Chains A and B, each alone.
Chain A
Amino acid sequence: MRMLINVPETVVADALRGMAAAHPDLRVDVENRVVVRADAPVAGKVALVSGGGSGHEPLHGGFVGPGMLSAACPGEIFTSPVPDQMARAAAAVDSGAGVLFIVKNYTGDVLNFDMAQELAEDEGVQIAKVLVNDDVAVTDSLYTAGRRGTGATLFVEKIAGAAAEEGAPLEQVEAVARRANERSRSFGVALSAVTTPAKGSPTFDLPSGELELGIGIHGEPGRERRPMMTSREIADFAVDAVLEDLQPSSPVLALVNGMGATPLLELYGFTAEVHRVLAERGVPVARTLVGNYVTSLDMAGCSVTLCEADEELLRLWDAPVSTPGLRWGR
């Protein structure tokens, strides 16, 4: 194992100390593991709180700032945060206008945010909640925990964050977040397994020359394994998997996301293939974002997320944002 760390036990705390050092616009509570935009609570503004396991950076702490999240709660590596963190974050950012929890559909995240909602409401904070579940690799049925929340989390956080920044009330922010989620679908591919600091070896065995299709963002294996494919073949497979579940009638927002260890050179090449296949399928693209945004530590691979945009979603997507991980328009 070669990692730029001290000891596995302090990886998350060390990273938070670094975030504090690098970003004076954030208030970082290292002990309680809460990252808050420094000017919170903002009077009259709905606050957005998200969180999840660490190891997906810049998600979520890197998306805290004007135009996006008010606070984030990083959990242990790939482990959801605990209710105390979320309730503390909600209390720190609530201006009285209420708080929207943005929750990825993983059992741990869902249960802990449920408990946090109870704690926060006991303290008089009004809470609304939106569940992100965009991953088409998982069949949503009575017999599974439902589709996972992956890349669309970025769309939901950005779009709902812009609505909140404009002064929309809680129910409107919640509604637009829900719409962004409902119109988004993702598919992910792993070219290597992930190594967590605590385990020190890959969490699943992926021989060279093979790839996993339909992976999540926690180093869990995917649904299917195949011999290595070209960027072109992967784009065909991933985009078609998404389009099987989403038939956009308006231009899409496209996120070509790296899982952590795939260079931008490869991601841009893959983006060209994604655009090609979308054009072949008659799907116009309104905006494209390429980079490592919803990562899985050192996993190589990528995911594609499409969001069927409408005028309002597009306007909110284009609105200014100023966070460590996403910044434009101001």
Chain B
Amino acid sequence: MLDTDFFRRWMTAAADAVGREAGRLTELDSAIGDADHGINMQRGFTAVTAALEKDAPDTPGAVLTLSGRQLISTVGGASGPLYGTLLRRAGKALGDDPEVSPAQLGEALRAGIAAVAQLGGAKAGDKTMLDALEPAAAALDESFAAARAAAEEGALATVPMLARKGRASYLGERSIGHQDPGATSSALLIAALEEVAR
């Protein structure tokens, strides 16, 4: 079973990973977007860890809900509402349970992902974060390691895709050949989950 501390450690590990990889995320974004994904995600997750320390939520659901709210309030751009909605909806789906099973987490993530797809109007194959998140959530029932591998493969698989959503879509054919920054940060989030589960 996964307790509140597990979720807090997940968010902290995600913040570390985003901080570590901020330069790479920005580099990817400068190729097909506007070069701010790394710095924006870093600002958001710094706010997440500060809020978790200050407010000390006492259920897994509350950890994710609070984290999502922080992302919406600090990130801006498309990433703020999309990542914020992912975590908030997943948190709400977990309810008030003090501990949850990996299967419940998988269900909750799928609820969050469905909300992201609805908000952004995107689907798998559009070269977005969904291309990493959807396979990861599907693989989560198998193991955390499988989810991580699926997310990383999913992010890589965005390279040859034509962007159909977000700023990269304005490039049309020229978006082909570049890895999607959002799918890349999503893979970081899932890798952080696998790290703390190890």
Q: Which residues of A come within 8 Å of B, CB atoms?
A: 53, 75-84, 106-108, 111-112, 114-115, 137-139, 143-145, 148, 196, 198-199, 203-204, 216, 218-221, 223
Contact among B26, B78, B79 with A199 in the assembled complex (CB-CB below 8 Å) = B26
Docked pose: A76 CA to B120 CA in angstroms: 21
A221 near B171 with CB under 8 A, answer: yes
Proximity string of chain B (110-154) to chain A, C-beta cutoff 8 Å, 1 when within and 0 when not: 000000000110000000000000000000000000000000000
**Interface magnitude class on chain B:** 20 to 34
Identify the 8 closest CB pairs spanning chains A and B, nearest first: A108-B77, A111-B81, A108-B78, A218-B34, A107-B78, A144-B169, A79-B76, A203-B35
In the complex, chain B residues 54-88 whose Cβ is within 8 Å of any chain A Cβ: 72-82
Name the residue on B nearest A148 (C-beta): B170
A contact residues around B75 at 8 Å (CB): 79, 82
- From A77, A108, A138, A139, name the one whose CB has the most chain B CB atoms within 10 angstroms: A108
Instruction: Say yes or no: A219 contacts B35, CB within 8 Å.
Output: yes
Within 8 A of A (CB), among B26-41: 26, 30-36, 39-40
Q: Is the CB of B26 within 8 A of A111?
A: no
- Cross-chain contact A78 with B34 (CB below 8 angstroms): yes
Q: What residues make up the interface of B, taking CB atoms closer than 8 Å to A?
A: 26, 30-36, 39-40, 43, 72-82, 119-120, 164-167, 169-172, 174
A79, A112, A138, A203: the one contacting B170 at CB < 8 Å is A138
Q: Are A112 and B81 in contact (CB under 8 A)?
A: yes
Which residues of A lie under 8 Å from residue B73 when comparing CB positions?
82-84
Q: A78-B34, A199-B35, A220-B33 are in contact. Are A106 and B76 (CB under 8 A)?
A: no
Name the residue in A81, A114, A148, A199 with the highest tally of chain B Cβ atoms < 10 Å from its Cβ. A199
| 16 sampled A-B residue pairs with Cβ under 8 A | A76-B36, A76-B40, A79-B36, A84-B73, A107-B78, A107-B165, A108-B81, A111-B81, A145-B167, A148-B170, A196-B34, A198-B39, A199-B30, A199-B35, A221-B171, A223-B174
Q: How far is the CB of B166 from chain A (nearest CB, A)?
A: 5
Assembly CA distance A46 to B43 (angstroms): 34
Q: Are A223 and B171 in contact (CB under 8 A)?
A: yes
Contacts of A223 in B (CB 8 A): 170-172, 174
**B105 → chain A, closest Cβ, in Å?**
25
A84 to B47, CA, bound (A): 15
Q: Is the CB of A107 within 8 A of B36?
A: no
A79 x B30 contact (CB < 8 A): no
- A82 partner residues in chain B, CB cutoff 8 A: 72-76, 80
Chain B residues closer than 8 Å to A204, beta-carbon distance: 30-31
Q: Which residues of A are found within 8 Å of B165, using beta-carbon distances?
A: 107, 144-145
